[in-house]
Amino acid sequence: MSPRTVDAIVTLRALVDRAVPRGALVLSVLSFGYLAMGIVRNRVFANTFGAGAELDAYYAAFRLPEIALDVLVAAGLTAPFVPIYTSLRRGDEGAANQFGRTVLTGAVGVMTAASIAIFLLAPWIGDRFEGFDGPTRGLYVDLLRINCLAQILFAASFALGEVLVANRRFVWYALAPILYTGGIVVGTVAFADRFGIAATAWGAVGGAAAHLGVRVAGTLRTSFRIGPARAVRTPAFSEFVLLMLPRMASHPVELLMLTWFTVLATGLGAGSVTSFNFASDYQVVPILLIGAPFSLAVFPTLSAAFADGDALTFRTILARNLVSVALLTTAAAVALFVLSGVVVEVLLGGGRFGPEDVNRTTGVVAAFALSIPFDALAYPLSRGLYATHDTLRQAVSSFVALGVVVAVSSLLVGPLGIIAIPLAYAAGMAAKDVLLAIFLLGRLRAPRTGRLSSEG
């Protein structure tokens, strides 16, 4: 290899290192693997069960336990754990790990209590599904109870996942969702002929065990050791609980936004809800492959910079991350806008999805492309706020975004129809980005008392 070629490779690698955070490529590739495994799962479901009562009961049985897990455990963990754990580890690694074990114990305990309640109330919950006939309601109850076990395993795995993020063990972290979906696929393919949809539910439990197992394995090469702890009367755990509350309160915002869009779409003619859902599936791909993994990759570094009071490093890393996410997602948005017709025609067109459906969905996909950079930028900006031990302002920005979405969509739905939905979403995300940036600048200018100073 010639010296010129070597120099070009070194230069290219340096540029990639500056633009792409360490660990981001691993997270992006494994996120793509997770999306691909989801496609395989859906194909297996379609071939094995079709669109019938069994699969309806299965999907319905997962909703309530997943909501309980999201609200009680996942929403609160993702924001405050890494910054607090990182700050503690700067002074006393033993205290940091004790804090981690306390959070792990609490997460499992809370989810166990919620799962027991759901398990006991399952027959009563099943009776609320009046659209199901008797056998389907019975099946729903059985599947709901099976799924309760999976959510307890997830609670432990989510807590360990935050430990892995703090230690930058991204491979073990991101492999877990792939293994979970793989468990569902294996359970269905291997045992559905004999046990029906129950095999899929038990496959989900097996996948949840694999989800937890791979993260347990990932912690073995860290200083963290799994075990019970009850250090709840510490300043660190008190701060953790206080930072959890705004995240838990704002967690339903996305669901409320989705519900609002669905209500709007139902009044815009047959097929509008379907077009909206298909389009949002394509819009979210660049977010999952760029915005989310890039921001997660720098989260431990931002948290460490805050713990050290190193504002210069904090600003440099965050600014670089914002530029990378903005450029890459803008390119993805342009590509989706230009290719929206081809994407919809190739992936959806044909059969009962006729030309009118293709044209309507293409328009929604093209309009949704506008929101991609704004949606993606909210991830690094939010992680930046979380790194400064602030979750309240992120919650405020989420509720403001919801208000903008409702106002803009109400204003535009008359003249623009379904196109008002993606345009309103873009406006809401842009407003959220502006607020997050303003809040973050305020945090960086705050005095050092537990926060970053404005001086390097």
Whole-model pTM: value is 0.87
Distance CA 243, CA 264 (A): 34
The reported pLDDT for the residue numbered 13 is: 52
The reported pLDDT for the residue numbered 275 is: 78
Distance CA 384, CA 437 (A): 9
Distance CA 61, CA 311 (A): 47
Q: Which two tokens stand for residue 146?
A: 């099976």
Residues 6 or more apart from 282 whose CB is under 8 A from it?
Answer: 336, 343, 365, 368
Report helix, strand or coil for 350: strand
Q: CA-CA distances (angstroms) from residue 337 to 326, 348, 423?
A: 16, 16, 13
Q: Which residues of the chain have pLDDT under 50?
A: 6-7, 9-12, 15, 447-456
Nearest alpha-carbon partner for 322 in 426, 436, 427, 442: 436
Q: CA-CA distances (angstroms) from residue 302 to 9, 45, 295?
A: 29, 41, 10
Distance CA 432, CA 455 (A): 27
Which residue, chain included where needed, has tokens 């319905």?
A: 60
Distance CA 202, CA 61 (A): 13
Which residue, chain included where needed, has tokens 């309980």?
A: 68
The crossing angle, in degrees rounded to 10, of helices 311-347 and 292-308 is 170
Distance CA 183, CA 78 (A): 24
Nearest alpha-carbon partner for 397 in 241, 247, 244, 239: 247
The reported pLDDT for the residue numbered 264 is: 86
The reported pLDDT for the residue numbered 233 is: 92
Give, as one character, the DSSP assignment of residue 455: -
Nearest alpha-carbon partner for 265 in 416, 97, 440, 105: 416
Helix (H) or strand (E) holding 437: helix 420-444
Distance CA 41, CA 56 (A): 15
Distance CA 207, CA 186 (A): 9
Distance CA 129, CA 121 (A): 13
* DSSP one-letter string for 307-332: HHT-HHHHHHHHHHHHHHHHHHHHHH
Indicate the burial class of 26 (C-beta count within 10 angstroms; 0-12, 13-18, 19 or more). Answer: middle
The reported pLDDT for the residue numbered 456 is: 30
Report the alpha-carbon angle 272-278-282, nearest 5: 140
Give, as one character, the DSSP assignment of residue 417: G
Which residue, chain included where needed, has tokens 């924001």?
A: 79
Which residue, chain included where needed, has tokens 């997270």?
A: 27
| 446: phi then psi, degrees, rounded to nearest 5 | -70, 155
Nearest alpha-carbon partner for 245 in 77, 104, 398: 77
